[in-house]
């Protein structure tokens, strides 16, 4: 029902189309449902869900996070490693012109590394000139945030596009730069980026391998960038075509069943030194990227639903399991999502930790974050602010569905029972807008154990866990539930 003209509609979607076409969204009052009519940055169900889950540690911290999610992201860019002196001079000319034209300041991002040096070293933020009257020294660090008014930040776009066209920089959100840094890549490593598109992390990994190589030489290792979609893989190839890509191989394959690499035709199996599993996710940590004040049909504020996370959980578990299968003993895997949901984060990590083939590596002490949750509740697929139904165990969920419909929630979505697994979960990290001027992000660092446990049949336990999960999904196939694979 439109509160302006009084017209009735058979569905909310048709009403939203009417509000957008008629211009009545500006005069429309607050909604009694999930989305605030008028297309403001508001979602009552999202707010209620994460407040009940306690992802920020306290209700006060979550309220601060929710307010920050309504603000636009600052402009952030990363200088490419092969930037030479002539390109740096062009960059400084671009930034000097931008600083003269607008009230902008350039600041080092939360995570950055020194150009031409060890990519794990940090420059001193105090040594960087942040004055609006002076051009910053772009050679001292790689990841920069442009801060200023939204109108002034819009003026920076043309300069950044010009710099991007000559291969000087890449646009990359600062939280997106964290997983490659935690991966600790060296120039001789065999590395797999399982879900690489659109390619910002792949380009950063290339830069890190190049930085670790001896001066004047190329990396001796190999970086394999994979994506399920051939079209997205081709777009990624175009994006990094200006970088040194001697050690890059691009593939398009399903990450859940990614094939084992071999040395030559019929040669021995190659185990990976490093794996980056930036899994497909619901993406509700990217709410700040929605720059529309009215919210288009694809606005994450309008599309958010717990069904998305429930549907992706099984896919994320399979991707992470496969990554660990391909990893050599002692190798490192970084699992990350741009989701806040524990169903996509801690539940996936706990499920794979239960296989016993890997352990979590603690994150750096100086990384501002909220520790991983030890316990959480799983929502009903129809969760809303008006019907906030959460279950603490699969037994509670099955009891609630008796006589109504079949329980669609998987046991792996619920908190683990193993004390060993529970004690490791705080080693994960959930990065929120209150921890830096970015979006929401989740990250966990795995290390493959040297000893490979078995399930008593001689098979590695992760293979047994995967077989059990596959059997359960085949039994549920065709039910059309909320956890259908995407």
Catalytic residues: 338
Name the pairing type of β-strands 378-379 and 441-448: unpaired
CB under 8 Å to 245, separation ≥6 — which residues? 206
Q: Are 314 and 469 in contact (CB under 8 A)?
A: yes
Q: What distance lies between CA 418 and its chain's CA centroid?
A: 27
CB under 8 Å to 345, separation ≥6 — which residues? 337, 339, 372, 428, 430, 442, 444
Q: At 317, list the tokens.
A: 């578990």
> Comparing C-alpha atoms, which of 357, 332, 354, 355 is closest to residue 443?
332
Dihedral (CA of 240, 241, 245, 250) sign? positive
Rounded to whole angstroms, the Cα distance separating 466 from 475 reads 14
> Comparing C-alpha atoms, which of 307, 311, 482 is closest to residue 383?
307
> Comparing C-alpha atoms, which of 56, 48, 51, 2 is closest to residue 305?
48
Q: Is 188 exposed, middle or buried (0-12, 13-18, 19+ CB in 10 A)?
A: middle
Q: Are 82 and 243 in contact (CB under 8 A)?
A: yes
């Amino acid at each position: 029902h439109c509160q302006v003209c009084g017209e009735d509609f058979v569905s909310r979607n048709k009403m939203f189309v009417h509000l957008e076409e008629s211009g009545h969204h500006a005069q429309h009052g607050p909604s009694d449902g999930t989305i605030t009519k008028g297309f403001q940055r508001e979602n009552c169900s999202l707010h209620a869900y994460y407040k009940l889950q306690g992802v920020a540690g306290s209700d006060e911290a979550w309220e601060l996070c929710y307010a920050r999610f309504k603000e636009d992201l600052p402009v952030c860019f990363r200088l490419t490693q092969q930037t030479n002196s002539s390109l740096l001079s062009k960059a400084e000319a671009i930034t000097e012109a931008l600083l003269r034209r607008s009230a902008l300041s350039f600041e080092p991002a939360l995570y950055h590394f020194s150009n031409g040096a060890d990519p794990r070293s940090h420059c001193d933020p105090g040594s960087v000139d942040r004055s609006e009257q002076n051009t910053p020294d772009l050679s001292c660090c790689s990841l920069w945030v442009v801060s200023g008014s939204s109108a002034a930040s819009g003026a920076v776009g043309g300069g950044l596009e010009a710099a991007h066209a000559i291969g000087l920089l890449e646009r990359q959100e600062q939280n997106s730069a964290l997983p490659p840094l935690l991966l600790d890549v060296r120039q001789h490593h065999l590395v797999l980026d399982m879900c690489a598109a659109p390619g910002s992390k792949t380009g950063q990994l290339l830069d890190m391998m190049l930085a670790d190589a001896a001066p004047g030489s190329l990396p001796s290792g190999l970086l394999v960038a994979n994506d399920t979609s051939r079209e997205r893989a081709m777009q990624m190839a175009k994006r990094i075509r200006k970088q040194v890509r001697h050690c890059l191989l691009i593939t398009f394959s399903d990450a859940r069943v990614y094939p084992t690499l071999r040395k030559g035709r019929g040669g021995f199996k190659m185990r990976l030194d490093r794996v980056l599993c930036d899994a497909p996710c619901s993406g509700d940590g990217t709410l700040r990227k929605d720059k529309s004040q009215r919210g288009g049909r694809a606005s994450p504020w309008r599309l958010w639903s717990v069904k998305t996370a429930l549907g992706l959980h099984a896919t994320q578990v399979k991707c992470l399991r496969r990554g660990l299968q391909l990893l050599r003993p002692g190798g490192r895997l970084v699992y990350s999502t741009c989701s806040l949901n524990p169903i996509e984060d801690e539940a996936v990590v706990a499920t794979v930790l239960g296989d016993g083939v890997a352990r979590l590596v603690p994150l750096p002490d100086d990384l501002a974050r909220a520790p991983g949750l030890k316990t959480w509740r799983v929502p009903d697929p129809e969760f809303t602010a008006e019907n906030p139904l959460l279950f603490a165990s699969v037994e509670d969920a099955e009891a609630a569905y008796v006589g109504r419909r079949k329980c669609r929630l998987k046991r792996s979505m619920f908190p683990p029972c193993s004390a060993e697994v529970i004690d490791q979960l705080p080693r994960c990290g959930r990065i929120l807008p209150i921890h830096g001027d970015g979006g929401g992000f989740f990250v966990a660092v795995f290390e493959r154990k040297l000893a490979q446990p078995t399930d008593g049949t001689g098979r590695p336990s992760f293979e047994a866990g995967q077989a059990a999960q596959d059997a359960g999904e085949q039994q549920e196939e065709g039910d059309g539930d909320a956890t259908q694979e995407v």
